[in-house]
Amino acid sequence: MAMVIEARGLSKHYGETVAVDSLDLEVPAGALYGLLGPNGSGKSTTIRMLTGQTPASAGTATVLGVDAAADPVGVRRLVGIIPEQETPPSFLTAAEYLRFAGAVRGLDGIEEAAAWWFEFLDFGDKKDVLCKDLSRGTRQKLMFAQAFLHSPRLALIDEPLVNFDPIVQHDVKEFLVDYVRRGNTIFLSTHILEVAEEVCTGFAILHRGRLLATGTPDELREAGRHLPDVFLELVRQDRNHV
Amino acid sequence: MFELFVAMFREEWRIHAVLFGPAMFALLPALIGAMAFMGAFLVPVVNRALPAGDLAAIVHILFLLLGAMVGGFGLVGNEVMNRRFGQASFVAYAARALPLSEQRIFAAFVAKDTVYYLILWILPVIAGVALASPFIGLPPEAVLRLFLSLQLAFLAGLAGLFLATTVYGRSKGAFAGLAVAIVVAVGAFSLASGALPPFPPLAVYRDFSWPVLAGTVAAIGVALAVSLLLFRPQSAGGERRHPDRFTGLRRRLGRLPYPALGAKDLLDLWRSGGGVGQVLFSLLLPLGLCWFLLSLLAPVLPSHGVLLLFAVLAGVLASTMYTWLTAFDTLGAYACLPVGVGDLIRSKLGLFALLQLVPAGVVLGAALLSGGTDVVLPALGLALGVSAWSVGVTVYLAGLSPNVLVYDPRVLLTYLAGVGLPVVVLVVLGLLHPWLGLLALVLIVPAVLVVRSGIRRWEAADSAFF
């Protein structure tokens, strides 16, 4: 099976602090892959390294066949990204930001796609509002829309659901499942375990920057286990061990 | 209240320490003190060209502007901090979740700024001047008066800015009325007396008396008290709407290497309250002050010396336009897009080149108004060449965070040396013969090389920008 993400010994140190420690990870094409972990476990740092936002201290990462360290802009050209914090430019309006993102990606005629996203995420009434005046939820919707504007084969999305209301969360989950069905891949970082169990086809559990386990919800179901229980057990064991 | 003050004070230190490194930032007062010490020895020399009173006025005006700048940053700095730290949150905002009134938070904020910048700027300056005072014949009581008056000038700027923005926040009409009243009062006084009205902090230095001191302190206290009473926090629910300007701007900037990035930067500049105000306060007013000061030196300068020196200063000030283009940029916004640090720098420099029309226009206007049309070409060459070189050095040293120049002594000294040496050579050449000023255009070549090297340097750095 073709891998869209391959990480070998990927590490990130900030001085004495080890954010990610020798991570080995393979994500197959067509997966909705969940990167799970408590706060501060290294999920966001992993996504930042995979998308070339920050260089790894050690190890390698290949995303869609592109070396993330050697060609970070090349990786970002291919993939869709929702960063950890919703940060659209303060002084563009929501609609202008989508035009901006489209222009930077070299896309023409994004008007139709933008209109679809405004309607799908139900924020068309905010399209002329400056991003700095948008609520967190609306900014998150905007970042979600820009990540999928160019229909990427792979999207790396960091806690995409936290600011959404239950209706939008439901719609977005359906969108993600459908997007993967159409042959694309989603790499989803989250600590909402119920969501991961519901939609993910594979998962990796991180704690203190180290990989504790990988698997699939189907494997857990066959063993009569639930992802939240397994997650809590592993993290607590690791916490006690440390 | 005291705990809030301490938390804000600690936060201010940490912001600067994170931005510029704790060791480097801690060295800043020492650098300021050393510069004040050395500068004090120039006072007798400068006084030959300038009356001592004018020099004192200039120093006090600078501290007034520093106070206004600090106050302004306190009010709009969250945008800049968001840019640097992501979604920044500050003690002032966090305290809103506590049982504290906005007025108390604001009062603690003012107290923090007063003490913080007393330690950071005013005490080092006074220490430097005090050390030099025995050598330049400045009596100890004059140093003490200077300490008081500079602190008051700083507070006057801080209080004036707070008052102006508070009134503006309440009512734009009242703000306009207040501005007109001040202009009319100053104009009337000037017409009647033939001089500008006295600046109270300066009067504390020049003609110290307890009533003058008490009156100055009272005036500042009243301005701060009125600000506190009228202060109304910005409503979080406000939504500013704009029609699409991005598409048209992007089309108009089509000849630039990154039209989309350029259009975004222009909209940032315009909608952040920059635009006309930025040009006025960051370029035209300082240039007006420069022209005034240089005109005082006219008797000791060769023909057209004032215009050529003005062009050099215009070039240095014009290079700060690069700072305008970075100040309100939220770089996290690029984290998900296929652009690198080099793309951003190149885009901003393209726009910077376009914006050079403004200083060029100012120099052209100065040449026309001062009868210097015969040396307008060397003056323009000086302004543009110095600006290009200065921005090149800025890009190399500071990348996309040019405000680091202000607070990191190591970077500041390197910048001053890197820009100062060629500028001194050009000034000497220009004064020897005006047309030698055209040699400044040669600086564009090393400027391009320095920018290229700077881009490589910042692309290789860990992109903490994102």
- pLDDT tens digits for chain A (242 residues)? 799 999 999 999 998 899 999 999 999 999 999 999 999 999 999 999 999 888 999 999 999 999 999 999 999 999 999 998 868 888 899 999 999 999 999 997 789 999 999 999 999 999 999 998 999 999 999 999 999 999 999 999 999 998 899 999 999 999 999 999 999 999 999 988 998 999 999 999 999 999 999 999 999 888 899 999 999 999 999 988 76
Helix (H, G, I), strand (E, B) or coil at A28: strand
Closest alpha carbon to A233 in A212, A219, A209: A212
For an interface test with B, the pick among A44, A78, A92 (most B C-beta atoms closer than 10 Å) comes out as: A92
**Residue of B260, B272, B466 lying closest to A91 (CB–CB):** B272
Can you tell me the distance from the alpha carbon of A45 to that of A236, in angstroms, rounded to the nearest whole number? Answer: 22
CB-CB contact of A128 with A93 (8 Å):
yes
CA angle at residue A136 from A130 to A142, to 5 degrees?
Answer: 60
CA B106 to chain centre: 23
**CA dihedral (A165, A168, A174, A179) positive or negative:** negative
| Residue B329 neighbours by CB under 8 Å, 6+ apart | A89, B83, B265, B268, B344, B400
What residues of chain B lie within 8 A of the CB of A87, using their CB?
86-87, 330, 332-333, 335
Closest alpha carbon to B185 in B174, B175, B197, B173: B197
* B203 and B144 in a common domain: yes
Q: CB B271 to CB A77 under 8 A?
A: no
* B214 and B307 in a common domain: no
What residues of chain B lie within 8 A of the CB of A145, using their CB?
none
CB-CB contact of B126 with B152 (8 Å):
no
Can you tell me the distance from the alpha carbon of B408 to that of B394, in angstroms, rounded to the nearest whole number? Answer: 13
Domain-located, residue B243: no
Secondary structure, 3-state, A75-116: HHHHCEEECCCCCCCCCCEHHHHHHHHHHHCCCCCCHHHHHH
- Helix, strand, coil percent values for chain A (each to nearest 5): 40, 25, 30
Tokens of residue A36, six digits? 């799970």
* B256 and B228 in a common domain: no
Residue with tokens 């504390």: B204
* B299 and B212 in a common domain: no
Closest alpha carbon to B263 in B149, B354, B163: B354
Can you tell me the distance from the alpha carbon of B116 to that of B270, in angstroms, rounded to the nearest whole number? Answer: 31
Identify the contact set of chain A against chain B, taking CB-CB distances under 8 A: 48, 51, 53-55, 72-74, 76-77, 80-83, 85, 87-93, 95-97, 99-101, 103-105, 126, 128-130, 132-134, 143, 146-147
Domain-located, residue B242: no
Render pLDDT for B158-192 as a digit per residue (tens, 0 to 9): 888 888 888 877 887 888 888 888 889 888 887 88
Domain-located, residue B245: no
What residues of chain B lie within 8 A of the CB of A96, using their CB?
242, 244-246, 267
Residue-averaged pLDDT of chain B: 84
Where is the domain boundary, B183, B210, B234? B234
Count CB pairs under 8 A between chains A and B: 114
Rounded to a whole number of angstroms, the distance from the CA of B341 to the nearest CA of chain A is 10
* B276 and B200 in a common domain: no
Where is the domain boundary, B208, B234, B260? B234
Where is the domain boundary, B234, B262, B282? B234
Domain-located, residue B383: yes
Domain-located, residue B244: no
* B381 and B308 in a common domain: yes
* B40 and B84 in a common domain: yes
pLDDT of residue B235: 54
Q: How many structural domains does chain B have? A: 2
**CA dihedral (B287, B289, B291, B293) positive or negative:** negative
Q: CB B272 to CB A130 under 8 A?
A: no
| Residue B166 neighbours by CB under 8 Å, 6+ apart | B226, B227, B230, B231, B232
* B331 and B225 in a common domain: no
Concatenated DSSP letters of B122-166: IHHHHHHHHHHHHHHT--HHHHHHHHHHHHHHHHHHHHHHHHHHH
**Residue of B82, B239, B329 lying closest to A129 (CB–CB):** B239
Burial of A167 (0-12, 13-18, 19+ CB in 10 A): exposed
Domain-located, residue B335: yes
Render pLDDT for B87-104 as a digit per residue (tens, 0 to 9): 445 666 665 667 777 777
Rounded to a whole number of angstroms, the distance from the CA of A34 to the nearest CA of chain B is 19
Residue of chain B nearest A111, judged by CA positions: B247
Beta bridge partner(s), residue A190: A36
Can you tell me the distance from the alpha carbon of B23 to that of B5, in angstroms, rounded to the nearest whole number? Answer: 23
Helix (H, G, I), strand (E, B) or coil at A233: helix
Q: What is the ipTM of this complex?
A: 0.91
- For residues B120-149, average pLDDT: 92
CB-CB contact of A139 with A88 (8 Å):
yes
Q: Which domain holds residue B181?
A: 1-234
**Residue of B87, B241, B462 lying closest to A85 (CB–CB):** B87
* B349 and B441 in a common domain: yes
Beta bridge partner(s), residue A13: A18
pLDDT of residue B464: 47
* B329 and B466 in a common domain: yes
Rounded to a whole number of angstroms, the distance from the CA of B236 to the nearest CA of chain A is 8
Residue of chain A nearest B336, judged by CA positions: A81
| Residue A51 neighbours by CB under 8 Å, 6+ apart | A63, A68, A72, A75, A76, A79, A81, A156, B335, B336
For chain A, give every domain's residue range. Answer: 81-151
Q: CB A96 to CB B464 under 8 A?
A: no
What residues of chain A lie within 8 A of the CB of B239, using their CB?
126, 129-130, 133-134
Closest alpha carbon to B244 in A4, A160, A228, A111: A111
What residues of chain B lie within 8 A of the CB of A72, using their CB?
340
Pairing of strands A80-82, A154-158: parallel
Domain-located, residue B240: no
Residue with tokens 């035009």: A99
Can you tell me the distance from the alpha carbon of B123 to that of B231, in angstroms, rounded to the nearest whole number? Answer: 30
* B127 and B256 in a common domain: no
What residues of chain A lie within 8 A of the CB of B270, using their CB?
91
Q: CB B463 to CB A95 under 8 A?
A: no
* B300 and B210 in a common domain: no
